[in-house]
């Protein structure tokens, strides 16, 4: 079963605008990760936030985590056409196997020039 | 792509034939994973390995087997391919257990006719 679920499924914005994607999950976690996938390529790790962190920044990326609501958001500021991709959240299960990540179905972001 | 290759990159095969996909890494990472990616389902874990000859099942393991005889190679075998196994298959590696950053290969597009 899916652990993480992204919202929205698709998002279309203009270059320069900010893009926000959300992820909800079901079980307690140790950490949550965000990945990007360009069309026809493998996933690329963007950022990891631990369960005891509330916010983390990396360049134009800002991730928040609310463990009480079991949700996370990924904000991409000043978007570029090159940010066009699918974005996935991935979680572990602190009560289950330590080996596995479970991925959501992704948000398709289109940044129009 | 972090020293991960997958072969073949594309394959078309007939129902009932055996198929083996290969994942090769040059990073000496302990953990290796096989995922399949399908529209509407996101990324789902098939099998994973936590060391040479140590493997375990993932979420969608029926119809698949794996082997890992050396650190750098992780093989995924479809004993008798079915049309439902048409998918894009990704291999991933990680230095630490699955709750940490994973590096993905470029994917193999498999079509079963």
Residue in A88, A79, A18 with CA at minimum distance from that of residue B104: A88
> Considering only CB atoms, which chain A residues are within 8 Å of B105?
42
Across B1-113, where does the E strand assignment appear? 4-7, 10-13, 19-25, 31-38, 42-51, 54-57, 64-70, 73-78, 87-94, 103-104, 108-112
Average pLDDT, rounded, for chain A: 91
pLDDT tens, A47-98?
Answer: 999 999 999 999 999 999 999 999 999 999 999 999 999 999 999 876 666 6
Which of B31, B41, B106 shows the shortest C-beta gap to A42?
Answer: B106
The confidence band for B98, taking pLDDT boundaries of 50, 70 and 90, is low
pLDDT per residue over B41-90, tens digit each?
889 999 999 999 999 999 899 999 999 999 999 999 999 999 999 999 99
In the structure encoding, which two tokens stand for residue B98, read together?
């699955």
User: Is residue A1 scored above 60 in pLDDT?
Assistant: no
Confidence of residue B102 (pLDDT cuts 50, 70, 90): very high
**DSSP 8-state class, residue A81:** G
Does the beta carbon of A100 lie under 8 angstroms from any beta carbon of chain B?
Answer: yes
- pLDDT > 70 fraction of chain B, expressed in percent and rounded: 96
Mutation target to probe the A interface, by most A beta carbons within 10 A, among B66, B99, B106, B109 is: B99
DSSP string, A82-95: GG-EEEEEEE--TT
CB–CB of B48 and A99 under 8 A?
yes
Q: Are B103 and A90 in contact (CB under 8 A)?
A: no
Surface of B (21-80) touching A: CB under 8 A? 31, 35, 40-45, 48, 50, 56, 58-59
CB B101 within 8 A of CB B89: no
For A93-108, write each residue's pLDDT tens digit. 766 666 778 898 999 9
| A2 pLDDT more than 60 | no
The backbone torsions φ and ψ at residue B27, rounded to the nearest 5 degrees and listed phi first, read -95, -10
| Phi-psi region at A9: left, alpha or beta (left = phi > 0; alpha = psi -120 to 50) | alpha
Of A18-32, B4-18, B96-110, the poorest mean pLDDT is in B96-110
């Amino acid at each position: 079963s899916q652990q993480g679920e992204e919202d929205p499924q698709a998002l279309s914005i203009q270059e320069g605008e900010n893009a926000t994607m959300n992820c909800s999950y079901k079980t307690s976690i140790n950490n949550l990760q965000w990945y990007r996938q360009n069309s026809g390529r493998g996933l690329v790790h963007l950022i990891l936030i631990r369960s005891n962190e509330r916010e983390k920044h990396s360049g134009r990326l800002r991730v928040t985590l609310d463990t009480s609501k079991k949700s996370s958001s990924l904000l991409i500021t000043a978007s570029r056409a090159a940010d066009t991709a699918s974005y996935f959240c991935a979680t572990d299960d602190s009560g289950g196997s330590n080996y596995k990540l479970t991925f959501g179905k992704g948000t398709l972001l289109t940044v129009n020039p | 792509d972090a020293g991960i290759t997958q072969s073949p990159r594309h394959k078309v095969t007939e129902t009932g034939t055996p198929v083996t996909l290969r994942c090769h890494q040059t990073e000496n990472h302990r953990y290796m994973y096989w995922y399949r990616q399908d529209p509407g389902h996101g990324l789902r874990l098939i099998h994973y390995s936590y060391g040479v000859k140590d493997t375990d099942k993932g979420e969608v393991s029926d119809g698949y087997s794996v082997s890992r005889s050396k650190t750098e190679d992780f093989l995924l075998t479809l004993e008798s391919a079915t049309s439902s196994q048409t998918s894009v298959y990704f291999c991933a590696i990680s230095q630490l257990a699955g709750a940490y950053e994973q590096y993905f290969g470029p994917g193999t597009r498999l079509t079963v006719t």
